[in-house]
Amino acid sequence: MSQMTEDLRRRVRDFLAARPFTPRCDSWAGSYDLGFSRELGEAGLLAVSWPERLGGGGGTAVDRLAVTEELLRAGAPLAAHWVGERQIGPALLRHGSPELREEFCPPLARAECTFALGMSEPDAGSDLASLRTSAVRDGDGWRVTGRKIWTSGAHRASHLYVLARTSREADRHDGLTEFVVALDSPGITVTPILDLRGEHHFNEVGLDEVAVPDRWVIGRAGEGWRQVLGQLAFERGGPERFLSTYPLLSAVLDAGLADGIARSGLRALAARLQILRAWVLETARVLDAGGSPVVPAATSKYLGHQFELSVIEWARPLMPRAAPEVRALYDQALAAAPASGLRGGAAPVMLSMIAKDNR
């Protein structure tokens, strides 16, 4: 990595050392602190890969990888800005109109607006092409109607990304369109979905003829499938796919619990971790080259989830001797594991994408 990238890494470590927070597993999805996110923005540690004229740092995807690795390793509270900075901003930079970029990218870089993802649906799941949410023309805008599920953070976000069907085509992958929707719009209902610990991260969002201005279409109407495939590379190909349980791994080591047979398992985990880090680094380099690493990102997601499950299994026999704060991290990792395997696409979908690419 370049000297600039390593300097960014040190800046993140200094930032974290100066701010008290309680580390947790799955922090990018389950630990929400809008003030923390805005401090990151003020420090120039959000949107580091975006153009400076749009509020970013003018760096690269590799720079962002270094920043996010440090934040995730520490278990810092990232959920407030994560979706908008990781996914929506880059999608706007690739496909949004100049006006849409100007409207949303600078506030996203400051965590002044926040996003939830409206992709999955009750009857669609990981099969996005079967979605039923529709958008119809209404004067100089659109009316969006449908239901979205597993929308993390929708009860706190200011805006919702929505993938909707705008026309019926012979190929079900055609006729899809991406929208920005204000979550305070009339016609929107947000219903909580509690996780295994009774915590509220997920939601079901209902949209009943919600008005969306035409300027909030991302890219071109009807080309959403092509656009979203590239966007999913941002969602699936990052270090959050294998570092969600890293705070548990780190806490076990710091507490001196890993001895005997656990040391052997630790060596295997360390080797896998280095491979995963090399993989996401290569993915970031492809993004910097303007590519869309759909299959490498799917591979990262699949293998990363397997790694996270292995960390939990490795730590399980050590928990009877663990202090309460270490056990709390284990409980968080265990509760998040089922959802972690589904977010961004279930394992069978990832394997299908990988297999098709290698025919």
The residues carrying an active-site annotation are 235
Pairing status of strand 188-194 against strand 176-182 = unpaired
Least Cα distance to 297 among 212, 226, 236, 229 occurs for 236
* Residue keyed to tokens 């994560």: 82
106 SS3 class: helix
CA angle 317, 322, 327 (to 5 degrees): 90
- Let me know: does 266 contact 322? Beta carbons within 8 Å: no
CA angle 161, 166, 167 (to 5 degrees): 150
**Torsion sign, CA atoms 87, 112, 179, 187:** positive
* Count of helix runs (H) and strand runs (E) in the chain: 14, 8
Alpha-carbon 172 to chain mean position: 26
Q: Which two tokens stand for residue 266?
A: 């630790």
Q: Which two tokens stand for residue 67?
A: 């920043």
